């Protein structure tokens, strides 16, 4: 009997890790594409919030979950384009613009949500994504129910990781992205249109941030609250650094953080944790800061990160 | 035909005109949201103005709200002058609040308590800012990301405190015990909340201006920011200047937290700062990193925040408009700054 209990516990725990990791994986991959092209997007926190709001609203009004996801993705692309307009086309400082985009999009998210739904004592909710077991695979012991009995968006995140790696390392466009992030001058000489490539990468990043936001409000919480993102965007910024700007490592970092977070939730629920749960939530940030100190010596960050490109300046 | 030209210098009146231009653009852009919410644009902005600057009580309320943003605005302005990218004013503010709350809860004579609160808060803020600065100087770690990530670390540390050892055992609320009554900052005008910390903020701005413009340290900070190579060549120890800047910047942000604890909340809770650290970036950019400009810029944002609540009650436009205005103002200001780098000149007309 206790063996069965233990197994359920493990399956539930594994499934929780995967669920927590999903929005982080989307967000981290999104931020990674942007940064690999040389554009730091600190707007991520606000963009995720705005996408969570627009996706939720679209679903709430239309009843269609996938329409909501589409709206969230389009919102993310639009905000990515906005950030790129400021940082790539106009060459304004990326960190200040990013903070501006975060302030603007989170303000807009709150404003529109309150305008559309008014002030309600119980926040409106939707019937969010349901788990979609994959036949045969979901029957695999332990791993099956944890990995193959999840939301459709979870499968998308799992597929997004190899896809991102493939795009970045195996396609001409991915090569262009890496070139404009490392040496835009050389890329320009080689005939790559730096501005366009950076725009595309930041917009693709925004789309992935949109998926992250959509997952939060449409699969994880099935409602939009003002704390729906609560720092997950900043976590993604940390995970990109921790994952050394690589899709596989970044996704691995997201999984590791999800493990720590799930553990923390378990300990809180079981009530036997003497360590405050905040200590766990702090970990990814502290680890990243420490890791940055060690990594800086072998300079793994895209060389042109934070540097605007102006063709006429030679 | 028009052509963009690189500007070599900018006239002084730009410092005044560009922020006003950005604010005007912001208000015009955001009027679209007011219209979307079905309210009259002029009425809404009118309510916003009268509720925040229309009478003397409203002005005191706006000043109380401006005080923390003056401090964080100064913190960011000083840091950005040296190109130390301190995005961590939020965390430094929280650290300052926690430290001053610790000190303020110790029974001692009022004036001494207030002085020590300020010292402790400034020291705590400076200590936090020292981390990204040291990492940058020693390990060449990017200060944007490290200072940003520290905000989350400090926030969770604060949460651990107020949900742990500081938790109100009677009510169970996650709030710190209040500071001693004698440590509460004196109110300067009877019947308002205008406290000593507001005056401190208003005095700090010209002091920091003097420091930046007239002292050796200020000169070093400016040269380090404008041209670190030249600074080094001229015998300035750039690393040391960056550390000093970080300490000053962090201390100023810490003082923002001190004012909130000593003059407004008298204790620490999770939402003691509604993002004043990030607002400091908006303030500093609107002020074009000029410490004197920080005061009107902070008052503008504070007026928008206090005014938005009244506007919401009167017209039904969500008060979150103030958040949108903040973000839009920052972006508009950045675009306006392009005028300092380029000028538009007519060409081809003369032939």
Residue A103 contacts B where some CB pair is shorter than 8 Å: yes
Q: What is the pLDDT of residue A3?
A: 56
Q: Which tops the pLDDT comparison, B242 or A10?
A: B242
Residue A117 contacts B where some CB pair is shorter than 8 Å: no
pLDDT tens digits, residue range B24-69? 999 999 999 999 999 999 999 999 999 999 999 999 999 999 999 9
Residue in A75, A74, A72, A86 with CA at minimum distance from that of residue A42: A86
Tell me how far apart the alpha carbons of residues A175 and A168 are, in angstroms, rounded to a whole number.
Answer: 6
**Which residue range is the domain that position B298 belongs to?**
2-346
Indicate the burial class of B193 (C-beta count within 10 angstroms; 0-12, 13-18, 19 or more): middle
Residue in B49, B80, B84, B144 with CA at minimum distance from that of residue B337: B80
Nearest CA-CA distance, residue B138 and chain A, Å: 9
Task: Provide the domain count of chain B.
Answer: 1
Per the domain annotation, does B109 fall within a domain?
A: yes
Q: What is the ipTM of this complex?
A: 0.92
How large is the average pLDDT for residues B265-281? Answer: 95
Q: What is the pLDDT of residue A5?
A: 53
Q: What is the pLDDT of residue B255?
A: 98
Tell me how far apart the alpha carbons of residues B80 and B67 are, in angstroms, rounded to a whole number.
Answer: 20
Residues of B with CB below 8 A from A115's CB?
36-37, 318
Which 71-130 residues of chain B touch chain A by CB within 8 A? 85, 87
Q: What is the pLDDT of residue B1?
A: 66
Residue B271 contacts A where some CB pair is shorter than 8 Å: no
Residue in B147, B18, B135 with CA at minimum distance from that of residue B79: B147
pLDDT of residue B201 exceeding 60: yes
Nearest CA-CA distance, residue B33 and chain A, Å: 9
Per the domain annotation, does B351 fall within a domain?
A: no
Per the domain annotation, does B122 fall within a domain?
A: yes
Residue in A56, A6, A24 with CA at minimum distance from that of residue A154: A24
Number of neighbouring beta carbons within 10 Å of residue B5: 12
Indicate the burial class of A14 (C-beta count within 10 angstroms; 0-12, 13-18, 19 or more): middle
Q: What is the pLDDT of residue A296?
A: 65
Cβ–Cβ under 8 Å, residues B73 and B280: yes
Tell me how far apart the alpha carbons of residues B126 and A93 are, in angstroms, rounded to a whole number.
Answer: 25
pTM of the predicted model as reported, rounded to 2 decimal places:
0.93
pLDDT tens digits, residue range B159-191? 999 988 888 777 878 889 999 999 999 999 989
Q: Which residues contact A31 (CB under 8 A, 6 or more apart)?
A: A41, A44, A205, A209, A236, A237, A240
**Cα A141 from chain centre:** 29
Cβ–Cβ under 8 Å, residues B52 and B322: no
What torsion, rounded to 10 degrees, do the Cα atoms B267, A271, B152, A285 define?
A: 150
How many C-alpha atoms does A92 have within 13 Å on its Cβ side?
Answer: 27
Q: What is the pLDDT of residue A298?
A: 60
pLDDT of residue B283 exceeding 50: yes
CA dist list (Å): A69 to A53, A233, B44: 11, 18, 34
Cβ–Cβ under 8 Å, residues A29 and A158: no
Which residue on chain B is closest to A282 by alpha carbon?
A: B153
How large is the average pLDDT for residues B91-114? Answer: 96
Nearest CA-CA distance, residue B35 and chain A, Å: 12
Tell me how far apart the alpha carbons of residues B295 and B74 are, in angstroms, rounded to a whole number.
Answer: 9
Per the domain annotation, does B102 fall within a domain?
A: yes
Tell me how far apart the alpha carbons of residues B68 and B56 are, in angstroms, rounded to a whole number.
Answer: 20
Tens of each residue's pLDDT in chain A, 314 residues: 455 555 545 778 888 999 999 999 999 999 999 999 999 999 999 999 999 999 999 999 999 999 999 999 999 999 999 999 999 999 999 999 999 999 999 999 999 999 999 888 888 989 989 888 888 888 887 777 778 888 999 999 999 999 999 999 999 999 999 999 999 999 999 999 999 999 999 999 999 999 999 999 999 999 998 889 988 999 999 999 889 999 999 999 999 989 888 888 877 777 655 678 888 888 888 988 888 888 765 667 888 888 888 776 54
How large is the average pLDDT for residues B238-247? Answer: 96
Cβ–Cβ under 8 Å, residues B71 and B204: yes
Nearest CB to B141: which of A107, A292, A305? A292
Strands A149-150 and A132-133 turn out to be antiparallel
Q: What is the pLDDT of residue B7?
A: 75
Which residue on chain A is closest to B163 by alpha carbon?
A: A276
Average pLDDT, chain B: 93
Q: Which residues contact B42 (CB under 8 A, 6 or more apart)?
A: none
**Cα B170 from chain centre:** 35
What CATH number is attached to the domain comprising B323? 1.10.3470
Q: From the candidates A91, A282, A301, which should be mutated to test the interface with B, based on the most B CB atoms within 10 A?
A: A282
pLDDT of residue B5 exceeding 80: no
How large is the average pLDDT for residues B251-265? Answer: 97
Per the domain annotation, does B58 fall within a domain?
A: yes
- Maximum Cα–Cα distance across chain A: 73
Q: From the candidates A50, A92, A103, which should be mutated to test the interface with B, based on the most B CB atoms within 10 A?
A: A103
Per the domain annotation, does B140 fall within a domain?
A: yes
Tell me how far apart the alpha carbons of residues B84 and B245 are, in angstroms, rounded to a whole number.
Answer: 8
Cβ–Cβ under 8 Å, residues B299 and A68: no
């Amino acid at each position: 009997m206790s063996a069965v209990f233990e197994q359920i516990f493990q399956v539930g725990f594994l499934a929780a890790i995967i669920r927590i990791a999903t929005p982080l994986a989307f967000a981290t991959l999104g931020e990674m594409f942007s940064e690999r092209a040389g554009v730091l997007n600190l707007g991520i926190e606000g963009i995720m919030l705005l996408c969570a709001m627009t996706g939720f609203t679209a679903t709430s009004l239309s009843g269609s979950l996938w329409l909501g996801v589409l709206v969230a993705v389009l919102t993310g692309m639009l905000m990515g384009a906005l950030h790129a307009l400021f940082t790539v086309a106009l060459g304004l400082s990326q960190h200040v613009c990013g903070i501006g985009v975060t302030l603007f999009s989170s303000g807009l998210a709150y404003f529109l949500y309150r305008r559309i739904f008014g002030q309600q004592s119980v926040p409106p909710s939707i019937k969010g994504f349901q788990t979609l077991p994959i036949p045969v695979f979901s029957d695999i012991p332990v791993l099956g129910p944890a990995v193959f009995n999840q939301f459709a968006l979870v499968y998308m995140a799992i597929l997004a990781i190899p896809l991102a790696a493939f795009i970045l390392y195996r396609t001409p466009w991915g090569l262009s992205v890496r070139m404009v992030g490392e040496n835009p001058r050389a890329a320009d000489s080689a005939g790559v249109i730096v501005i366009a490539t950076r725009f595309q990468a930041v917009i693709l990043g925004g789309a992935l941030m949109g998926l992250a936001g959509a997952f939060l409000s449409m699969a994880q919480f099935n409602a939009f609250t003002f704390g729906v993102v609560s720092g997950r965007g900043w976590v993604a910024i940390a995970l990109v650094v921790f994952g050394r700007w690589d899709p596989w490592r970044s996704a691995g970092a997201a999984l590791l953080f999800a493990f720590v977070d799930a553990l923390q939730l378990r300990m809180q629920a079981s009530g036997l944790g003497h360590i405050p749960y905040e200590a766990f939530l702090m970990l990814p940030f502290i680890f990243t800061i420490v890791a940055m100190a060690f990594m800086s010596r072998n300079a793994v960050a895209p060389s042109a990160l934070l540097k605007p490109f102006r063709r006429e300046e030679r | 035909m028009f052509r963009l030209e690189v500007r070599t210098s900018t006239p002084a009146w730009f410092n005044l005109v560009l922020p006003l231009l950005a604010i005007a653009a912001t208000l015009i852009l955001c009027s679209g949201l007011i219209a979307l919410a079905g309210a009259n644009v002029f009425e809404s902005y009118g309510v916003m103005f009268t509720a925040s600057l229309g009478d003397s009580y409203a002005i005191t309320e706006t000043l109380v709200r401006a005080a923390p943003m003056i401090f964080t605005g100064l913190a960011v302005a000083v840091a950005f002058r040296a190109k130390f990218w301190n995005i961590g004013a939020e965390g430094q503010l929280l650290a300052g609040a926690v430290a001053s709350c610790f000190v303020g809860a110790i029974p001692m004579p009022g004036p001494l308590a207030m002085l020590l609160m300020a010292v402790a808060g400034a020291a705590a803020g400076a200590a936090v800012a020292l981390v990204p600065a040291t990492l940058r100087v020693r390990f060449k770690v990017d200060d944007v990301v490290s200072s940003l990530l520290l905000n989350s670390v400090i926030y969770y540390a604060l949460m651990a405190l107020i949900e742990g050892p500081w938790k109100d055992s009677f009510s169970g609320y996650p709030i710190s015990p209040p500071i001693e009554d004698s440590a509460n900052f004196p109110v300067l005008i009877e019947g308002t909340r205008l406290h000593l910390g507001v005056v401190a903020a208003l005095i700090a701005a010209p002091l920091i201006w003097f420091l930046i413009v007239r002292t050796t340290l200020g000169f070093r900070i400016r040269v380090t920011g404008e041209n670190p190579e030249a600074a080094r060549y001229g015998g300035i120890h750039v690393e040391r200047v960056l550390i000093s800047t970080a300490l000053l910047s962090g201390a100023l942000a810490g003082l923002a937290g001190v004012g909130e604890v000593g003059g407004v909340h008298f204790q620490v809770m999770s939402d003691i700062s509604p993002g004043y650290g990030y607002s400091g970036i908006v303030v500093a950019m609107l002020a074009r990193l000029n410490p004197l400009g920080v005061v009107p810029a902070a008052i503008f944002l504070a007026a928008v925040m206090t005014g938005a609540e009244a506007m919401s009650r009167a017209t039904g436009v969500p008060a979150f408009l103030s958040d949108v205005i903040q973000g839009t103002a920052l972006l508009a200001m950045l675009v306006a700054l392009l005028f300092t780098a380029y000028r538009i000149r007519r060409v081809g007309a003369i032939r």
